[in-house]
């Protein structure tokens, strides 16, 4: 089990080598891990490719890869908005991933969790997910706040900040992490 501390203000890093072939991504992730683990820094890695749009880059469905349990990549989640048919998470695959990672100090993270219904989030928590990435929902709250009239820049900045805080607070309650920091 890793001991959390900070180094230059950080206690974790995100390694995204999802654009690389799987074996290169693993090597890249291991390299970054060797640089930071001795400082007590936790590493989160994105080993697969999710379909959807993130940071103006779109990965088409045919480019995304569902995981094999031994690779721990993707269970059907997507970056950005889910299609109109809604999310199609492979919960049996998540069970297999949990079985492989349990008791190894590995924590499961669900990228592309924006828009997941509460009951599905709770089921994922029960199946071992310990972190959800909901960037699209936070960004959307910011953008929606920009569309409302404001008297001046100070009010606009306060409004966008409060809109994002509201989404984060709601998610912290849903994920069961409120009041635990």
pLDDT tens for residues 143-153?
999 999 988 99
| Structural domain includes residue 7 | yes
- The parent domain of residue 38 ranges over 1-47
User: Which segment of 27-36, 46-55, 81-90, 126-135 scores lowest on mean pLDDT?
Assistant: 46-55
The string of pLDDT tens digits covering residues 106-138 is 888 888 899 999 999 999 999 999 999 999 999
Position 106 scores a pLDDT of 81
Position 105 scores a pLDDT of 80
| Structural domain includes residue 76 | no
Cα 29 to Cα 2, 12, 13, 16, 20, distances in angstroms = 16, 13, 11, 8, 11
Q: Percent of the chain, pLDDT > 70?
A: 81
pTM: 0.74
| Structural domain includes residue 21 | yes
| Structural domain includes residue 3 | yes
Cα 72 to Cα 44, 45, 98, 124, 126, distances in angstroms = 12, 10, 9, 15, 17
| Structural domain includes residue 9 | yes
| Structural domain includes residue 63 | no
Mean pLDDT, the chain, rounded, equals 82
| Structural domain includes residue 130 | no
Would you place residue 54 in the very low, low, confident or very high pLDDT band (cuts 50, 70, 90)?
low
Handedness of CA 154, 156, 161, 163 (dihedral sign): positive
What gap in Å lies between CA 110 and CA 139, rounded to an integer? 18
Residue 2 has pLDDT above 50, yes or no: no
Domain count, the chain: 1
The string of pLDDT tens digits covering residues 94-105 is 998 899 888 888
What gap in Å lies between CA 36 and CA 6, rounded to an integer? 10
What gap in Å lies between CA 127 and CA 178, rounded to an integer? 20
Position 178 scores a pLDDT of 92
Nearest by Cα to 46 from 26, 76, 70, 69: 26
The overall longest dimension of the chain from CA atoms, in Å, is: 54
Position 22 scores a pLDDT of 81
Residue 3 has pLDDT above 50, yes or no: no
- Is residue 69 within 8 A of residue 48, CB to CB? The reply is no
Position 154 scores a pLDDT of 94
| Structural domain includes residue 18 | yes
What gap in Å lies between CA 164 and CA 48, rounded to an integer? 28
Query: What's the per-residue H, E or C state across 68-98?
Result: CCCCCCCCCCEECCCCCCCCCCCHHHHHHHH
Position 157 scores a pLDDT of 94
Task: Please provide residue 53's backbone torsions phi and psi, each rounded to the nearest 5 degrees.
Answer: -120, 130
């Amino acid at each position: 089990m890793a001991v959390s501390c900070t180094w230059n203000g950080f206690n974790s890093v995100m390694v995204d080598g999802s654009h690389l072939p799987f074996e290169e991504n693993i090597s890249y992730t291991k390299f970054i891990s060797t640089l930071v683990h001795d400082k007590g820094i936790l590493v989160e890695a994105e080993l697969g490719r999710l379909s959807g749009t993130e940071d103006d880059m779109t990965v088409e469905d045919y480019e995304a890869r569902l995981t094999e349990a031994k690779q721990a990549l993707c269970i059907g989640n997507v970056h950005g908005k889910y299609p109109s048919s809604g999310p199609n998470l492979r919960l049996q695959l998540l069970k297999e991933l949990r079985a492989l990672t349990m008791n190894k100090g590995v924590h499961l993270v669900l990228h592309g969790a924006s828009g997941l219904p509460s009951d599905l989030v709770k089921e994922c928590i029960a199946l071992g997910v310990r972190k959800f990435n909901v960037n699209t929902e936070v960004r959307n709250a910011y953008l929606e706040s920009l569309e409302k009239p404001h008297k001046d820049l100070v009010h606009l900045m306060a409004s966008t900040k409060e809109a994002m805080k509201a989404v984060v607070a709601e998610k912290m309650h849903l994920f069961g992490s409120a009041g635990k920091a």
